[in-house]
Amino acid sequence: MEKVTLVFVLCFAAMVPSLVADFAVYDTVWKQRAEEARNMTMEYYVPNTDIIANETFDDPSALDLIDASGNSTRRNLRQGKRRYRGPCEATNPIDRCWRCRPDWEANRKQLAKCALGFGRRTTGGLDGEIYVVTDPSDCDVREPKPGTIRHAVIQKRPLWIIFARSMNIKLSQELIVTSHKTIDGRGANVHISYGAGITLQFVTNVIIHGLHIHHITPANGGMIRDAEDHFGLRTRSDGDGISIFGSTNIWVDHVSMSQCHDGLIDAVQGATAITISNSHFTHHNDAILLGASDSFAGDQMMQVTIAYNHFGQGLVQRMPRCRWGFFHVVNNDYTHWLLYAIGGSKHPTIISQGNRFIAPDAFHLKQITKRDYAAESEWKTWSWRSEGDAFMNGAYFVQSGDPNVKRPHRKYMIKPKHGLYATRMTRHAGALDCRRGRKC
Ligand SMILES: *[C@@H]1O[C@H](CO)[C@@H](O)[C@H](O)[C@H]1NC(C)=O
Ligand SMILES: *[C@@H]1O[C@H](CO)[C@@H](O)[C@H](O)[C@H]1NC(C)=O
Ligand SMILES: *[C@@H]1O[C@H](CO)[C@@H](O)[C@H](O)[C@H]1NC(C)=O
């Protein structure tokens, strides 16, 4: 995830002499983007000013929706994703904002009004026209062909990007997305797989919705177009599914992710105002990394909401792993981990509310939390709080720090329900099978 923006290699100058004079220009373009992005981080960071009195939770024992079988059985543990065949249902506030309307297709942009949590101001391509991707190829990354996803994401104007049909897109290099875009996979079965991943670097206001992203591999880099009017030499990409680098107002929703070479999602370098919701993560070691460096204090501004996701089969660790910033982990369903679920270093604040955690059977894996590079005398001051979580099969959360730690204004803190609701709230996590003319 440590990504070097651009390398100006001399052999390139020798190869393309006419571009020599432009090097300073390229350099300026990325410097300018970095500066704008830093300003965005300041603008969208929300100060921690509220002392929220202890959250109250509905009494879950009164509910018949609970099929919680306690700790005695793993029956309630979803093995993979069961196919739901019932009528359309929206089981959490984000989904209720747009799902189950028969006209979802005519009204796709309704989605732009539905983000919650720290990424709630994200509207993506709301102000833009629709761009229909018709061509799954990715042959020319410097002069992308019209109709390809790469041609769509380099446009400087806002765009709402959709897909004409189901397709597998094998990216030959990282897909460098510009600001004010929505990538909306609804209505098609779109897989980004067996190639490079998606990069959001120094951008703002991007929605990624309804994609399957898996088997992402590193790519060697090279000359890649990163805007209509700019391209440059990129170093190797690491093989992250989605890399969020110094970017703000990012909302990842209803994405299915597995088996990437590096992380599934990384957010680094002061990236903030991010919500990752309704997604289904499986078969991966390092799932979500939020902050990559113990020495980069700029990540203190990182504020990320992880809500309504299902952390499922074959996951090992980092769901998420946090540094420095403020992380709200709310109403997720954790059914598998092989090392730990939530971890971190460098005194992050982690508020875990209304999640369900089912520990693995092995007796030494029951602890949900893991602190790195700090003795207890140090980490006991980090605010890691568990409120309204449901613990099964012996799972336990080691709390630390001040229960009254200041939090951002409550409009950025999704109101939790008790963890025993998490299974229901995440039932439709992952990319949805939305068909034209039918409720989604
Ligand atoms: C960033 O903010 C500083 C201070 O407000 C301002 O002087 C500068 O012009 C801004 N830079 C950009 C690229 O917007
Ligand atoms: C919340 O609960 C904790 C632990 O029960 C208690 O120490 C703390 O004072 C409470 N905070 C408020 C604001 O009521
Ligand atoms: C399950 O819970 C019961 C009581 O609710 C307890 O007696 C038992 O030891 C628990 N089993 C495990 C494996 O934690």
Ligand nearest to the CA of 72: 3
- pLDDT given at position 96: 96
Q: Among this protein's residues, is 38 annotated catalytic?
A: no
- Residue 439 resides in a domain: no
Is residue 413's pLDDT more than 90? yes
Residue 136 lies in domain: 10-425
- Residue 440 resides in a domain: no
Atom of ligand 1 nearest to the CA of 42: 2
- pLDDT given at position 116: 98
> What confidence tens digit (pLDDT) does each residue in 123-182 have?
999 999 999 999 999 999 999 999 999 999 999 999 999 999 999 999 999 999 999 999
pLDDT, averaged across the chain? 89
Is residue 21's pLDDT more than 70? no
Is residue 19's pLDDT more than 70? no
- Residue 1 resides in a domain: no
Atom of ligand 1 nearest to the CA of 35: 13
- pLDDT given at position 178: 98
What secondary structure, in 3-state letters, does the chain show?
A: CCCCCCCCCHHHHHHCHHHHHHHHHHHHHHHHHHHHHHHHHHHHCCCEEECCCCCCCCCHHHCCCCCCCCCCCCCCCCCCCCCCCCCCCCCCHHHHCCCCCCCCCCCHHHHHHCCCHHHCCCCCCCCCEEEEECCCCCCCCCCCCCCCHHHHHCCCCCEEEEECCCEEECCCCCEECCCCEEEECCCCCEEEECCCCEEEECCEEEEEECCEEEEECCECCEEEEEECCEEEEECCECCCCEEEECCEEEEEECCEEEEECCCCEEEECCCEEEEEECCEEECEEECEEECCCCCCHHHHHCEEEEECCEECCCEEECCCEEECCEEEEECCEECCCCCCCEEEECCCEEEEECCEEECCCCHHHCECEEECCCCHHHHCCCCEEEECCEEECCCECCCECCCCCCEECHHHCCCCCCHHHHHHHCCCCCCCCCCCCCCC
CB of 53 shorter than 6 A to ligand 2: yes
Atom of ligand 3 nearest to the CA of 72: 1
Rounded Cα distance between 20 and 78, Å, is 57
Question: 277, 299 in Cβ contact below 8 A?
Answer: no
Atom of ligand 1 nearest to the CA of 38: 1
- pLDDT given at position 334: 97
Ligand nearest to the CA of 406: 2
Ligand nearest to the CA of 34: 1
- Residue 81 resides in a domain: yes
- Residue 59 resides in a domain: yes
What confidence tier does 50 reach under pLDDT thresholds 50, 70, 90? confident
- pLDDT given at position 82: 60
What confidence tier does 295 reach under pLDDT thresholds 50, 70, 90? very high
Write b or e for each residue in 266-301: b if 16 or more Cβ atoms lie within 10 A of its Cβ, otherwise e: bbbbbbbbbbbbbbbbbbbbbbbbbbbeeebebbbb
- Residue 433 resides in a domain: no
> What confidence tens digit (pLDDT) does each residue in 223-267 have?
999 999 999 999 999 999 999 999 999 999 999 999 999 999 999
Nearest CA to ligand 1 atom 3: 39
- pLDDT given at position 55: 77
Dist. CA 414 → ligand 2 center (Å): 20
Atom of ligand 2 nearest to the CA of 54: 1
Nearest CA to ligand 2 atom 12: 53
* Ligand 1, pocket-test mutation among 30, 35, 203, most atoms within 8 A of CB: 35
Dist. CA 341 → ligand 2 center (Å): 25
Nearest CA to ligand 2 atom 4: 403
Q: Which segment of 76-90, 343-357, 402-416 scores lowest on mean pLDDT?
A: 76-90
Catalytic residue among 150, 318, 356, 371: 318
- Residue 434 resides in a domain: no
- Residue 431 resides in a domain: no
Dist. CA 396 → ligand 2 center (Å): 20
CATH number (domain holding residue 229) = 2.160.20.10
Residues of the chain with pLDDT > 70, as a percent, come to 88
Dist. CA 16 → ligand 1 center (Å): 34
Domain total of the chain: 1
Dist. CA 381 → ligand 1 center (Å): 35
Question: Quick one: average pLDDT of 390-399?
Answer: 96
What confidence tier does 61 reach under pLDDT thresholds 50, 70, 90? low
Nearest one of 153, 100, 91, 92 to 117, comparing CA atoms: 92
What confidence tier does 436 reach under pLDDT thresholds 50, 70, 90? confident
Ligand nearest to the CA of 385: 2
CB of 35 shorter than 6 A to ligand 1: yes
Dist. CA 141 → ligand 1 center (Å): 31
Is residue 279's pLDDT more than 70? yes
- pTM tops 0.75, yes or no: yes
Is residue 63's pLDDT more than 90? no
Instruction: Name all residues whose Cβ lies below 6 A of ligand 3.
Output: 70-72, 394
> What confidence tens digit (pLDDT) does each residue in 311-369 have?
999 999 999 999 999 999 999 999 999 999 999 999 999 999 999 999 999 999 999 99
- pLDDT given at position 437: 86
Rounded Cα distance between 424 and 67, Å, is 10
Is residue 6's pLDDT more than 50? no
What confidence tier does 53 reach under pLDDT thresholds 50, 70, 90? low
